[in-house]
Amino acid sequence: MKQQGKKKATIYDLSILSGCSASTVSAVLNGTWRKRRIKESTAELIQNLAEQHQYTANLQARGLRSSRSGLVGLLLPVHDNRYFSSMAQTFEAQVRSHGKCPVVVSASRDPQEELATVETLISYSIDELFIAGATDPDSVHGLCEAAGIRHINIDLPGTKAPSVISDNYQGARMLTQAIIKRFDDAAAPLKPEELFLFGGRNDHASRERIKGFRDIKRELLDHDSDACIQPTGYSPDMTQKAFEAFYEREGKLPRGLFINSSINFEGLLRFMAQHPHETFADIVVGCYDYDPFGSFLPFPVIMIRQDTESMLAKAFELIEETRPAVKIHLIQPELVHPRTALKGPLDSIRDIDA
């Protein structure tokens, strides 16, 4: 009964085999047959034939006709990082549970690439788009708007579509505070000029985090200075260079380090590879983003875990509203103490056999 190497069966094939019209076959197979008052026995006949011939609908044809595809897109800056890959994992699970097909693509934080990618997705009539960390969410909004595609910003907000983001300001406050607290019963308490922020650039998230960092620093250490802020972009290499430069200048690292993202943290790793253990004997790192391995490094690493589950859940909720308000929804992130291995989306995957 299997068709080896042949073309896929279409409703027309089944139409001939069953003696019914193609429209009847279509109705039976897409579930609208009761509405169309098709006899139960006819439906069964066709369903059996469909199974025997391994019929599956051509979703391009269906999409073309109904101008909906069943695809839901997630636009990511990059894959290769625990924050985003874990978001992708959660996204997939949630989309599937809604009976749709998830599609994840990355655009390398490149505005051009972002727009081009979204254009492509739109040309495939994706039904909904989740825009995570777009450099220019409002342009992306323009495209979606014009195409009538429901969309929502995640992680980085836009001004024209609803956004669900981490409370970066609060998160940064928590993190900065935790770094400082960590020195409470150290031999020498942390001096204000020993607490630096590295990484990030001029995006909403970085700005908020920097604000939180400064505010806490002012409140707890009564100190504020631009010199303590080193935005190095989102590149491991630039971050490494910044650390090297600092080390060259000062002969040591700052004892308190606020690192803007796990990507920047990789810059610190590169620096570490060049320097002996002792260089890091007395430092405390706070990293905005959680990475399980990062949490167990040889020095205390405090991390912020952004709640991608809640963010996505909220986003799904909003995207289903008919006319969601264009506002920013803040999701509280979580402070993760050193040496903590949190569960992740992988844990909900059942692992058959062994």
Among 3, 16, 32, 54, binds DNA (CB under 7 A): 32
Those residues with Cβ within 8 angstroms of residue 306's Cβ, 6 or more apart along the chain or in another chain: 83, 155, 166, 171, 289, 290, 331, 333
**For tokens 């952004």, what's the residue?**
306
Tokens found for residue 6 = 């042949």
Cβ contact 39:45 at 8 Å: no
Q: Residues 45, 46, 51, CA angle at the centre, nearest 5°?
A: 105
Residue 85 touches which member of DNA, a second copy, none, C-beta under 5-8 Å by kind: a second copy
Residue 19 near DNA by CB under 7 A: yes
- Looking at beta carbons only, is 9 or 335 nearer to DNA? 9
Residue 23 near DNA by CB under 7 A: yes
Among 1, 6, 187, 322, binds a second copy (CB under 8 A): 6
The rounded distance, in Å, linking the Cα atoms of 2 and 6 is 9
Beta bridge partners of 198: 230, 259
Residue 21 touches which member of a second copy, DNA, none, C-beta under 5-8 Å by kind: DNA
Count other C-beta atoms under 10 Å from residue 189's C-beta. 12
Q: Give, as ranges, the residues between 197 and 256 that touch a second copy (CB under 8 A).
A: 201-202, 231-238
For residue 293, the minimal CB distance to a second copy (Å) is: 3
The rounded distance, in Å, linking the Cα atoms of 109 and 107 is 6
Strand 256-259 to 301-305 pairing: unpaired
Tokens found for residue 200 = 């990030």
Residue 254 touches which member of a second copy, DNA, none, C-beta under 5-8 Å by kind: none
Q: Give, as ranges, the residues between 53 and 82 that touch DNA (CB under 7 A).
A: 55-58, 61-62, 64-67
Among 4, 5, 6, 39, binds DNA (CB under 7 A): 39
Among 40, 184, 278, 347, binds a second copy (CB under 8 A): 347
Residue 352 near a second copy by CB under 8 A: yes
Residue 26 touches which member of a second copy, DNA, none, C-beta under 5-8 Å by kind: DNA
- Region class of 31: left (phi > 0), else alpha (psi between -120 and 50), else beta: left
Residue 235 touches which member of a second copy, DNA, none, C-beta under 5-8 Å by kind: a second copy
Q: What burial letters (b/e) apply to 87-106, b meaning 16+ CB within 10 Å?
A: bbbbbbebbeeeebbbbbbb
Residue 27 near a second copy by CB under 8 A: no
Q: Give, as ranges, the residues between 111 and 170 that touch a second copy (CB under 8 A).
A: 117, 119-120, 122-125, 135, 145-148
Residue 47 near DNA by CB under 7 A: no
Q: Give, as ranges, the residues between 266 and 325 that touch a second copy (CB under 8 A).
A: 266, 269-270, 272-273, 291-298
Tell me the DSSP string of 128-140.
EEEEES-S-HHHH
Tokens found for residue 45 = 């006949």
Which residues of the chain form contacts with DNA (CB under 7 A)?
7-8, 10-12, 19-24, 26-27, 29-30, 32, 36-39, 42, 55-58, 61-62, 64-67
